[in-house]
Amino acid sequence: MSADSPTLPGSGEVPTVLVRDGHDRQLLCFLEQLIPLDGHDYALLTPVDTPVCLFRLRDDADPELIETLDASEPILSVADVVLQEHDLTLVRSAVTLTVSGELEEPDPDDMEEEEDGDEESETYELLVSFLADEQEYGLYIPLDPFFVVARIEGGEGVLVEGEEFERVQPRIEAELDERESDS
């Protein structure tokens, strides 16, 4: 590993890596695992701030996950104001929206199951709900771990997307499985 790679655990602090996506948005993440593949260091990361998902809430149906959203979307401006009332800040970061600030620990009794459309059920906790253009929306915290895969270049992470992700993801999973079985 080169001298400009992130520091490894053992120093008492969990190392962090700044990840950039193709639109030059950033996301500060904790380094969970470093996996060398094909002459590159790939990192499995978790966001420092809390990831959130935006759902459109409807009385007559299950909440609808909004997967693509422009950072300047008016809905997010309303979410900004609502979160500020709770001393939280919405961050339009790479990969996902995140919220920074002190969050309360999730109450297991308040957790909701939401369908994400592909037959898999994920668990979310409602952080805030709000109205924008006479439509109700909710920001939910995914309770399953949220991982990011990045290639380390010059001490920073470059988000692994598209074909590269499809190529390295199964190999990273295999390496992690092997590490887990060795321990």
Rounded to whole angstroms, the Cα distance separating 107 from 124 reads 11
Q: What pLDDT sits at residue 180?
A: 87
Residues recorded for the chain: 183
Which pLDDT value is given to residue 12? 57
Structure confidence at residue 87 (pLDDT) = 94
pTM assigned to the model: 0.77
| pLDDT of the residue at 85 | 93
C-alpha dihedral sign at 129, 111, 28, 68: negative
pLDDT value of position 27 = 94
pLDDT at 138: 94
What residues does each domain of the chain span? 18-47+146-182, 50-142
Give Cα separations from 79 to 3, 54, 133 (angstroms): 41, 10, 12
The dihedral of CA 164, 165, 168, 170: what is its sign? negative
Beta-carbon contacts of residue 141 (< 8 Å; ≥ 6 apart): 50, 51, 52, 53, 99, 103, 106, 124, 125, 127
Residues in the chain predicted with pLDDT less than 70, given as ranges, are 1-12, 71-72, 105-122
172 three-class SS? helix
**Phi, psi for 51 (deg, rounded to 5):** -70, 145
Q: How far apart are the first and last CA of the chain?
A: 22
